[in-house]
Amino acid sequence: MPPNEPSSRGTLASSAAAVASALAALSCCLPLGPFLLAAGSAGASGIFVSLQPYLIAFAVLMLAVGVVQAFRARQCGRRRRALNVAVLLCSTGLVAAMLFAYVPASAPAGQPAVTAFHLDGFRQAFNAAADRTRVVVLLSPT
Amino acid sequence: MLRDVRDPDMRVFVVWEPVLLTDWHAPGAQAVARVPDRRATQFWDPQHALSGEIRRAAESDPQRVLGEHRLRARVVWDFVALYPPGVRWTGAFPAARFAGAPVVRVIDDLHRQMIALNGRRDSSAAGN
């Protein structure tokens, strides 16, 4: 083991602790953590589409936590409050966009509403029309 | 194409699923408007549940489930299957009368099969 490794580890640990404490102090007035988590999970839900319901639910929860934390930090200066509102608005916008994207568009006139796919329900619908010709199509939206 | 098939009882199940990087959202107005036919019902399947069922069924009998289509990707998509009256889905995803992909390449064959099926239904109805 090189002789200088323990001291470099110590430096790294103390730097990390300093960054963490600075972030913690900042988050007292600016709930960056929850808002970033909300924005991050909302963004991730666009990539991991199969996890979308959970990620969106988590994003909404983090948004609520962030709002509560922001309202609690009453001793912050005006600039901090403005930054709070800006970050809150950005996070809310992103989460709202993902929520909007999660809901399918309205079906064309005369068709039933576009619904989330459930295997059992689909099988029932397929069998309910067993006396008819049926076409099943799998497509990508884009 | 559906307009040419006069069978008013026919049912079309359109299942949208995310495949491409740009598919990060449910089908929008433009996508669902591509199938304006009143006989259609549209679904959004973000978890590829139907694709998984088709894959499982195709493992044992690829020719009957997928037709000439060969699975190359993890997700079955841009795929169409035609079922005549009488076919029920009980165990595995049922074998189709006609199946294929990509849709744009097999659409003419599908159209012929649908017309033939419809004609057969019309003639059997007239005979009754």
The DSSP string of chain B is -GGG---TT-EEEEEE---STT--S---HHHHTT---TTEEEEE-TT-HHHHHHHHHHHH-HHHHHTT----SSS--SEEEEE-TT---SSSPPPPSEEESSHHHHHHHHHHHHHHHHHHHHHHHHH-
Question: pLDDT grade, residue A20 (50/70/90)?
Answer: low
Which of A50, A108, A142 has the CB atom closest to B47's CB atom?
A50
Under 8 Å CB-to-CB from B96, ≥6 apart: which residues? A136, B64, B65, B67, B81, B82, B83, B87
User: Is B72 within 8 Å of chain A by CB?
Assistant: no
pLDDT for A125 equals 96
For an interface test with B, the pick among A41, A123, A138 (most B C-beta atoms closer than 10 Å) comes out as A138
- A61-94: pLDDT as tens digits: 888 888 887 777 666 666 666 777 787 788 888 7
Which of B25, B43, B50 has the CB atom closest to A115's CB atom?
B43
pLDDT at residue B14 is higher than 90: yes
Contact: B54, A138; criterion CB under 8 Å: yes
Average pLDDT over residues A51-56: 80
Which of B9, B43, B79 has the CB atom closest to A117's CB atom?
B43
User: Is B66 within 8 Å of chain A by CB?
Assistant: no
- Report the distance separating Cα B114 and Cα B119, nearest Å: 8
Cβ atoms of B61 and B46 within 8 Å: the answer is no
User: Is B117 within 8 Å of chain A by CB?
Assistant: yes
Closest-CA residue in chain A for B34? A108
pLDDT for A3 equals 46
pTM of the shown model: 0.69
More confident residue, A22 or A1: A22
Contact: A135, B10; criterion CB under 8 Å: yes
Which of B41, B49, B117 has the CB atom closest to A133's CB atom?
B117
User: Is B4 within 8 Å of chain A by CB?
Assistant: no
Contact: B26, A125; criterion CB under 8 Å: no
Mean pLDDT of chain A: 76
Determine the length of chain A: 142
Query: What is chain B's Cα-based Rg?
Result: 15
Residue A49: other Cβ atoms inside 10 A: 22
Residue B110: other Cβ atoms inside 10 A: 21
ipTM here? 0.89
One DSSP character per residue, A75-131 reads T--HHHHHHHHHHHHHHHHHHHHHHHHHSPPPPPTTSPPPEE--HHHHHHHHHHTTT
- B32-74: pLDDT as tens digits: 899 999 999 999 998 899 999 998 888 877 777 777 666 667 8
User: Is A1 within 8 Å of chain B by CB?
Assistant: no
CA-nearest of A89, A82, A52 to A67 is A89
CA-nearest of A39, A67, A40, A41 to A54 is A41
User: Is A105 within 8 Å of chain B by CB?
Assistant: yes
User: Is A142 within 8 Å of chain B by CB?
Assistant: yes
User: Is B107 within 8 Å of chain A by CB?
Assistant: no
pLDDT for B84 equals 94
